[in-house]
Amino acid sequence: MLQKFDPTRFTLRQDRPNGTQAPEQTPTAPARPHRRPVHSRSHPPSGGPRIAYGKDQMTEQEQREKEQLYDELIRLAADVAYFAYRRCGFRCDAQQRNIFRRSNKRVILNCSRQTGKSTTAALIAVHTAVLQPASTIVITAPTKQQIREFMRKVRDFASVASASSHGGRFFVEFKNGSRIIGIAANEDNVRGFSTVTLLIIDEASRVKDEV
């Protein structure tokens, strides 16, 4: 197969004065293709400008998402009603939201039956366990049947709010070290817990004062 002659790759032979010929020059190597420039760490090729360097590099979008997550956690910790809606899928009524906004150390709910007292207390218990690591929530009631019904609501909310929760009929444990325990309302059982973050007494009118 014939190839087109390229005069730039070869040099013609020239006769020397003494009659000898100059050695034939070898063809020159073709030029290397142009390589794409390598961007340094201070000038990233894509993803937006960097705001930090080293191991904790983060784009502006990542920083914005981190700030939004931080604001979400603050709102979840400050508002139990918002926590109930966002993490448990439960819409609170106006009376429940009013209870959640109270900052009193002790709260007594003197309401008629089937008004949502146990549901409200169960949401407060799960909210405390999820957002306060290593907390201990004790729930007590006059009978075991009342404790089982209360703990059933706690387990339902905990299974939705935190995928890392597990437990049995009278307790729920969380991955962050928190636990919710239901015990019978007698003095010996309550004395077994030294550090209690939250104490909930269901049907308190029927619990003895010694407890």
CATH number at residue 100: 3.40.50.300
Give the C-alpha separation, 203 to 200, whole Å. Answer: 10
**Any domain includes 148:** yes
**Any domain includes 80:** yes
- Cross-strand bridge partners of residue 179: 136, 173
> How many Å from the N-terminal Cα to the C-terminal Cα in the chain?
106
- Give how many domains the chain has, as a whole number: 1
**Any domain includes 12:** no
**Any domain includes 6:** no
Structural domain harbouring 137: 60-206
**Any domain includes 42:** no
**Any domain includes 23:** no
pLDDT per position in the chain (211 positions), as tens? 555 555 555 454 554 555 555 555 555 555 565 565 555 554 555 544 444 444 456 788 888 888 888 888 888 888 999 999 998 989 998 888 888 888 788 888 887 777 888 899 999 999 999 999 999 999 998 888 899 999 999 999 998 887 677 878 889 999 999 999 998 877 666 677 778 899 999 888 778 776 5
**Any domain includes 157:** yes
**Any domain includes 4:** no
Strand extents, DSSP E, the chain? 136-141, 166-167, 171-173, 179-184, 198-201
